Amino acid sequence: MDSGVAAEHNRHSWNAAVEAHASHRPGLQHYLRTGGLTVFPEELALLGEMTGRSLLHLFCNTGHESLSFNRLGATVTGVDLSDAAIAYARSLAEATGLQATFVQADVYAYLSAAAHAGLSFDRIYCGYGAICWLRDLATFASGVAAILAPEGRFVLVEFHPTSNMFDPEWRLRYNYPHGGELLTLDGVGDYVGAAGGGLSPGGFAEGVRDFVNPHQCHLYRWGIGEIVSAFAAAGLRIRRLQEFFYVNGEKPFARMRLDDQRRYYPPDDVPKIPLMYGLVAE
């Protein structure tokens, strides 16, 4: 499939999902305005000190994480393909008094334009379902490397490819992701509603029920070796690769247990497998 057509399908699919996702977070504005953070300890530990740092948040979606980074002292730019998500992010910034520059753009176009303009960032972050939207890992990694400031840090917190081998009932069903294999789905789903509060720290509401996305989306399946190698080949030094046996916020499998930190753990009868990982490259 032509990459431009796929990207346009994805934009429409994300646009359709924004309202459904937001319907489960009625308290988000108040939560952020009164000091709440929607980011998890894992990404904060990997990002390190943010006070006075410039931070680029790629695949920022509706911006609540970007605004959380601003609360922690960073000057933030958020980029996302979805114009509906960016519009929501801008309204969220206005309502909370937090600040970020939100840009609607294809990530490849943004990285190229930023390099051409001579921009650089102390921190570049993306995570939680970002890598699967990349049709070309090498170009993405090179684009990140081109605008990462000297002594800067790229951080990725992502769902582990191993977890994509299982169906929702923990049955081994699929090949290990590799090679950027194209996967076409019915559309971006209502994962915020399915998380039942894991992704709604300001309070969960039932909101939209039985959401059906009218627009297909197209994902790309990459293995962890390919991901790490792409950033190494782009000239970045891999400083850390950490695996986690739980999932932050989302509930991808049945019978998962939610703790008071919004982490979902497998049931006791399921052997431990890595469900999430964090990568730091400098």
Using one digit for the tens of pLDDT, what is the confidence trace for 175-204? 999 999 999 999 999 999 999 999 999 999
pLDDT single digits (tens) 228-281: 999 999 999 999 999 999 999 999 999 999 999 999 999 999 999 999 999 999
Q: Which helix (H) or strand (E) holds 92?
A: helix 83-96
Strand 276-281 to strand 238-244: parallel, antiparallel, or no bridges (unpaired)? antiparallel
Only one residue has tokens 């008071």, namely 260
2: pLDDT strictly greater than 90: no
pLDDT band at residue 1 using 50, 70 and 90 as cut-offs: confident
Average pLDDT over residues 38-65: 97
Mean pLDDT along residues 8-36: 97
What token pair was written down for 152?
A: 């800067």
Amino acid at 72: L
Provide the mean pLDDT of the chain.
Answer: 97
- What pTM, to 2 d.p., does this model score? 0.97
User: What would the pLDDT profile of 125-177 be if each residue is shown by its tens digit?
Assistant: 999 999 999 999 999 999 999 999 999 999 999 999 999 999 999 999 999 99
Phi, psi of 77 (to 5 degrees): -120, 125
Residues sharing a CB contact under 8 Å with residue 87, sequence separation 6 or more, in sequence order: none
Write the Ramachandran bin of 242: left for phi over 0, alpha for psi from -120 to 50, otherwise beta: beta
User: How far apart are the C-alpha atoms of 49 and 46, rounded to whole Å?
Assistant: 9
- 3-class SS of residue 80: strand
Going from the N-terminus, what domains does the chain have, and what CATH number goes with each? 3-281 (3.40.50.150)
Distance between CA atoms of residues 229 and 238, nearest Å: 9
Q: With bands split at pLDDT 50, 70 and 90, how would you rate the model's confidence at 3?
A: confident
